Amino acid sequence: MNTKIFCDIADLSSIAQFNKKSIVKGFTTNPSLMRKAGAKDYKSYSEQILKVCKKKPISFEVFADDQKSMIDQGKKISTWGKNVYVKVPIVNTKNKFMGRVIKELNNKDIKLNITAVYSAKQTEKILKVINKETKVIISIFAGRAGDAGKDPIPEFKKSIILAKKFKNVEILWASVREPYNFLQAKQLGCHIITIPPSIIEKIEKFGKSFNQLTKETVKAFLVDSKKSQFKL
Q: H/E element holding 110?
A: none
HSE-up (13 A, CA, CB side) for residue 121: 1
Domain tally for the chain?
1
Residue 215 lies in a domain: no
Residue 143: name the closest of 134, 151, 132 by CA: 151
pLDDT of residue 184: 98
pLDDT band at 192 (very low <50, low <70, confident <90, very high): very high
155 alpha carbon, distance to own chain's centre = 16
* Residue 192 belongs to some domain of the structure: yes
Residue 56: domain span:
4-207
Q: Counting Cβ atoms within 10 Å, is residue 135 exposed (0-12), middle (13-18) or buried (19+)?
A: middle
Residues tagged active-site: 87
Decide if 229 is inside a domain: no
**Is 130 part of a structural domain of the chain?**
yes
Q: Does residue 137 have a pLDDT over 80? A: yes
**Angle, nearest 10°, between helix axes 67-78 and 99-107?**
30
What's the mean per-residue pLDDT of the chain?
Answer: 97
Considering the entire predicted model, what is its pTM? 0.94
132/30 Cα distance (integer angstroms): 26
CATH number of the domain that residue 170 is part of: 3.20.20.70
Report the pLDDT averaged over residues 155-184: 98
| Residues paired with residue 190 on neighbouring β-strands, in sequence order | none
Q: What does the pLDDT average to over 81-97?
A: 98
